[in-house]
Amino acid sequence: MSAARLQVSRRQRATPYTPRVEALGVSGFAVVNHTILPKGFGRSEQLDYLHLREHVQLWDVGCERQVELAGADAARLAQWLTPRDLRDMQPGQCRYAPLVDEQGGMLNDPVILKLADNRFRLSIADADIGLWAQGLALGRGLDVTVDEPDVWPLAVQGPKSDDLAARVFGDAVRDIGFFRFTWLEYAGHEYLVARSGFSRQGGFEVYVEGFERGAPLWDALWEAGSDLDIAPGYPNLIERIEGGLLSYGNEMTRANNPFECNLDKFCRVDGAIDCIGRDALAEIARSGPARRIRGVIFDGEPSPPCRHPWPLAVAGVAAGAITSAAFSPRFERNVALGMLERDFWEPGTRVSVDCGDGSERRGIVSHLPMEEADAGL
């Protein structure tokens, strides 16, 4: 691995947790939403994966920036931004939602939080949605403000998350339903705690309000976890590939539509809602997508990281491309996500994978989330 050391200045924003992850030996960062995201702590991603599936981890996900819509037209703007039907959404709910342009091209896939009837937050993936939303609000003359509030998400992930969070916020955390949130008190302050996160191992995301409250909350959770085998973590590539969690900019870009991303169930295309891209999406829904994101499991040496899409072929015919790949200690195979052309997207289809390292590897298309039975190469 040789990407020269990232130089961090004010533009690559640090988070309230950065000094804590540095003290714990963070070994690398990515940049997401102009904010640094830890990507390792000196041991292999395989070991971090095994730990995540068994214990509990604290993740600095301050890069999950919030785009807040507030005012009389906040609900109208939120609905205009996404084809997901938000009309029945209640305060205290989170919803995963595609954002698309007027041609149906994916712009983002945030978690939307409804705080009140006139107040929403979009917890965004890596693209500048604040600019898009503010431009739309100005152009349409909407009565809404668009801001990035001083909010710094911190994730608690892994099977011991309930026990850890309960020690800090009380047993009320156990009653939070999936993709719901509530306000809970710790040391005299209220914290928005949601049952969500970028893993399939269970857990919470705390949306910490006020940069200065970040480090004290990190410390409280860290100390409360000392007998739970707590470790620092980060969105784990192996775990998210197996779980089928998509990464905007990797699995999909503006060149893809939500159907290609398997987000059909989050697209209301019957004209019932007023959203950008409605007609384009209705047309794509009629013809059906030409390709879809699938899992791919492939053999050979542990995969290098996928920095450009790797071609997939079936009997010499172009079948799609891998977009993310890693070696899974559980499957003892490489696991990957990729875009498969329609004729080749059926799970069980045998493909050949070109990782760009000169080797041709045998692969098989899989369901998402991946199942053990999918690995039968």
Taking CB under 6 A as the binding criterion, the range among 50-58, 128-136, 190-198, 288-296 that sits at the site for ligand THG is: 190-198
284 lies in the site for ligand THG, by CB under 6 A: no
111 lies in the site for ligand THG, by CB under 6 A: yes
Sequence-distant (≥ 6) Cβ neighbours of residue 91 within 8 angstroms: 114, 115, 116, 117
Please identify which residue in 246, 280, 306, 351 interacts with ligand THG, judged by CB under 6 A: 246
3-state helix, strand, coil split of the chain in percent (to 5) is 25, 35, 45
Q: What is the Cα–Cα distance from 169 to 231, expressed in whole angstroms? A: 19
Give the per-residue contact string, 198-217, with ligand THG (x = CB under 6 A; - = no): x------x------------
CB of 234 to ligand THG, least distance (A): 12
Q: What is the Cα–Cα distance from 135 to 129, expressed in whole angstroms? A: 10
186 lies in the site for ligand THG, by CB under 6 A: no
Please identify which residue in 125, 261, 293, 351 interacts with ligand THG, judged by CB under 6 A: 125
252 lies in the site for ligand THG, by CB under 6 A: no
Do the bridges between strand 99-100 and strand 317-328 make them parallel or antiparallel, or are there none, so unpaired? unpaired
Q: What element of type H or E holds 217?
A: helix 214-224
Are the C-beta atoms of 371 and 331 separated by less than 8 Å? no
DSSP state of 302: P
236 lies in the site for ligand THG, by CB under 6 A: no
99 lies in the site for ligand THG, by CB under 6 A: no
Give the per-residue contact string, 45-64, with ligand THG (x = CB under 6 A; - = no): -------------------x
Are the C-beta atoms of 129 and 153 separated by less than 8 Å? no
Q: What is the Cα–Cα distance from 250 to 38, expressed in whole angstroms? A: 17
Please identify which residue in 15, 57, 123, 201 interacts with ligand THG, judged by CB under 6 A: 123
Taking CB under 6 A as the binding criterion, the range among 8-16, 103-111, 168-176, 299-307 that sits at the site for ligand THG is: 103-111
196 lies in the site for ligand THG, by CB under 6 A: yes
Q: Between residues 179 and 183, which has the closer beta carbon with respect to ligand THG? A: 179
Sequence-distant (≥ 6) Cβ neighbours of residue 36 within 8 angstroms: 6, 8, 12, 13, 14, 15, 18, 29, 30, 63
CB of 63 to ligand THG, least distance (A): 8
Q: Which residues bind ligand THG (CB under 6 A)?
A: 64, 95-96, 109-111, 123-125, 153, 179, 196-198, 205, 245-246
